[in-house]
Amino acid sequence: MKRLLLFAVPLPLCVLLFSDALAAFCGFYVARADAKLFNRASQVVLVRDGNRTVLTMANDFRGDPKEFAVVIPVPSVLQRGQIHVGDKALIDHLDAYSAPRLVEYFDENPCERREFDRLSSSKAGGRPMPMEASAVRRRDSALGVTVEATYVVGEYDIQILSATQSGGLVTWLKAQGYRLPPGAADVLGSYIRQNLKFFVAKVNLTEQSRLGFTYLRPLQVAYESPKFMLPVRLGTVNADGPQDLVVYALTRQGRVETTNYQTVKLPTGMQLPAYVKQEFPGFYRAMFDQQVRAHDMRAVFLEYAWDMGWCDPCAADPLSTSQLRALGVFWLDGERGVSRNRGGGADVFVTRLHVRYDAVHFPDDLVFQQTADRSSFQGRYVLQHHWTGSDTCEAADQYRSTLPARFDREAETLASLTGWPVNQVRRKMPAAPAAARDDRAWWERLWK
C-alpha cells in the first residue's frame, strides 16, 4: 500500500499523496536567494482579483509517477475549463525575479575627484483490483462519496468528489491504495463541514508518455470564492519538522498580507563584509532562521513587493504579458497595462511571502487580504568593497583611518543578523589596510 504524505498549500488546501519510494539605487547585482536554498520549500502562485483566484502549485515530487496524486478541496464542482496544467519555468522565472538579492559597490580612489552620474542598473504497494462500475458506485455511495465529474487534463486524470463524512472520504482514499497518517481525518472533516468539494488528480502514464514529459508539471485551478486563504494545517499532520512555503501573490490592487498572523518585513539594506559574496546562500539561510526564532515562528515574512512593470536591480527580467496571462493574470488584455520600457505587466503587483510553519505555531490556515499599498520593498544586502590602492594623499589617509571602524560595524551587523559569533566573522574579514595596521585595538578585536 502506498503511503500518503500531506503537502498543504493551495486553495483551500492541497494534499500531496505519494509512495514511500526601495527606492532606486545604483549597484551591481551579485546573487539571489531563491526558493531552492530551502529544503522542502513549497511554491504557490496565487493570482487574485475580486472573488476570483487562479492558483498554480509547483511540486517537487520525486519518484514513480504512478504513485503520485494530489487532493485539493475547492468551493464548487470545477468545470473542465477551470483546470489547466501550468509551466514550471514560469514559476522559476517568478521566483528568480522576486528573490532577495545581494548587490555590491566599489569605493573609488579618494585621491581622485570625479563626478559620477548615479544611474540605476537593471539589468506503494500494488494497486487494488478493478471493480465493476456498478460496484464502484455502490461502494462510493455507502461511503458518502460522489464522483461529480471526471476529466483528462494533460498528463493528469482528474476527479471532482463530494463527501458527506471524513471517515467515508478516508476509506475511499484507502481503497485507492493510499495510507493516511493519523490526524488527517479530523482536518479533512473540517473542510467537509464547509461543504467543499475535492479535486483529485493522478498521473495518466499513457498521456504522460505520449506528451513526452519526464517530470510532473504544475497544476492550475481557477475558482471564485469570497475567501482569500491558503490552508497549511494538513501539511503539518505527518510532517517531521517545520516546512517552508513561498507564496507569490499577483494582484491588481497592491501588496498582500496575512490578517490572522503578523506580516513582517525582513531586514534589508544592511552593509555586510565582502566575503559574504562567496557565502550568500549560507548567510541568507542563517538570517532567515534568526528571524524565525526572533518571532517565535509565528510570523509570515515579506521578501519582495514591487510593481511588475520594472525592477531595480533586476534579479531576473520582469515577466511578459503572455507569461503573466499563462499564470492566470486574467485582467491583462493584449498589450494594455504593459510597460514598454521593461516588458512586464505594469498593472500587476507581486508580493512574495515566505513562511516557516508547523502545527504548534500555525494552528490556523493562512488568511490574506489585498491592500492599496503599492510601495516597493525587496530583501537586499550590500557589499561595499574598500579601496585597496597605494596612492597617497590626505584624503586617502583619512579614508584608511575609517576602515577599522567600518569593518567592525559590518562584522557586528552580520553577527546580529545571523547569530554567528562576531569574532568568528572578524577572522574571515580582510586584514586592515596599511595605514590602520598600527591600530592595536582593531587587531585585539579581530583576534580576541
Distance CA 30, CA 100 (A): 11
Domain tally for the chain?
2
Determine the 3-state secondary structure of 178 from DSSP: strand
Residues 69 and 192 in one domain: yes
Residues 105 and 192 in one domain: yes
Bond from prior residue into 313 cis (ω within 30 degrees of 0):
yes
The per-residue pLDDT for 307 is: 92
Determine the 3-state secondary structure of 437 from DSSP: coil
Does the structure show a pLDDT above 90 at 348?
yes
Q: Is the backbone of residue 195 left (phi > 0), alpha (psi -120 to 50) or beta?
A: left
Residues 212 and 189 in one domain: yes
Residues 82 and 202 in one domain: yes
Residues 155 and 194 in one domain: yes
Distance CA 294, CA 356 (A): 13
- Higher-confidence position of 123 and 94: 94
Distance CA 301, CA 387 (A): 35
Residues 378 and 391 in one domain: no
**What mean pLDDT is predicted for residues 62-68?**
72
The per-residue pLDDT for 169 is: 85
Residues 290 and 403 in one domain: no
- Do the beta carbons of residue 38 and residue 285 sit within 8 Å? yes
Q: Quick one: which of 291, 295, 289 has its CA closest to 362?
A: 295
Whole-prediction pTM value?
0.78
Residues 427 and 326 in one domain: no
Q: Which of 165-169, 351-355, 428-432 has the lowest mean pLDDT?
A: 428-432
Determine the 3-state secondary structure of 107 from DSSP: coil
Task: Tell me the three cell numbers of residue 42.
Answer: 513549497
How many other C-beta atoms can be found within 10 angstroms of the C-beta atom of residue 87?
Answer: 16
Q: Which of 96-105, 178-187, 222-231, 306-315 has the lowest mean pLDDT?
A: 178-187
The per-residue pLDDT for 240 is: 74
Determine the 3-state secondary structure of 368 from DSSP: strand
Tell me the CA distances in angstroms from 321 to 310, 325, 337, 339, 393, one per residue in order.
13, 6, 9, 9, 54
Residues 263 and 213 in one domain: yes
Q: What is the DSSP letter of 380?
A: E
The residues that bridge with 84 in the sheet, in sequence order, are: 220
Task: Tell me the three cell numbers of residue 63.
Answer: 519518484
Residue that terminates a domain, selected from 333, 362, 382: 382
How many other C-beta atoms can be found within 10 angstroms of the C-beta atom of residue 219?
Answer: 24
For the CA atoms of 100, 101, 102, 106, the dihedral, rounded to the nearest 10 degrees, stands at -130
Alpha-carbon torsion 200, 205, 208, 210, what sign?
negative
**What mean pLDDT is predicted for residues 189-207?**
86
Does the structure show a pLDDT above 60 at 15?
no
Distance CA 38, CA 281 (A): 9
Distance CA 75, CA 430 (A): 59
Instruction: Give kind and range of the element (H or E) at residue 264.
Output: strand 262-265
Range of the domain at 392: 387-447
The per-residue pLDDT for 22 is: 30
Residues 365 and 410 in one domain: no
Which alpha helices (DSSP H) does 212-329 contain, by range? Answer: 280-294, 321-326
Residues 302 and 395 in one domain: no
- Residue 216: band (very low, low, confident or very high) from pLDDT cuts 50, 70, 90: confident
Summarised one tens digit per residue, pLDDT across range 370-384 is: 999 999 999 999 999
**What mean pLDDT is predicted for residues 44-59?**
91
Residue owning grid cell 562584522: 411
- Burial (CB count <10 Å: 0-12, 13-18, 19+), residue 236: buried
Residues 412 and 323 in one domain: no
Say which residues have a Cβ less than 8 Å from residue 427's Cβ, sequence separation at least 6: 446, 447
Residue that terminates a domain, selected from 365, 382, 399: 382
Q: What is the DSSP letter of 345?
A: B
Summarised one tens digit per residue, pLDDT across range 112-144 is: 743 333 333 333 344 444 555 666 666 677 788
Distance CA 448, CA 446 (A): 6
Tell me, rounded to whole angstroms, the distance of Cα 315 from its chain centroid: 15
- Higher-confidence position of 439 and 147: 147
Distance CA 52, CA 225 (A): 6
**What mean pLDDT is predicted for residues 329-335?**
76
Residue that terminates a domain, selected from 334, 367, 382: 382
Kindly report each contact of residues 290-298 with a partner whose C-beta sits within 8 Å and lies 24 or more positions away, as own/partner: 290/417, 290/418, 290/419, 291/264, 291/266, 291/267, 292/356, 293/419, 295/262, 295/264, 296/361, 297/242, 297/356, 297/357, 297/358, 297/361, 297/362, 298/261, 298/262, 298/361, 298/362
Kindly report each contact of residues 129-135 with a partner whose C-beta sits within 8 Å and lies 24 or more positions away, as own/partner: none
Residue owning grid cell 503572455: 322
| Percent of the chain residues topping a pLDDT of 90 | 39
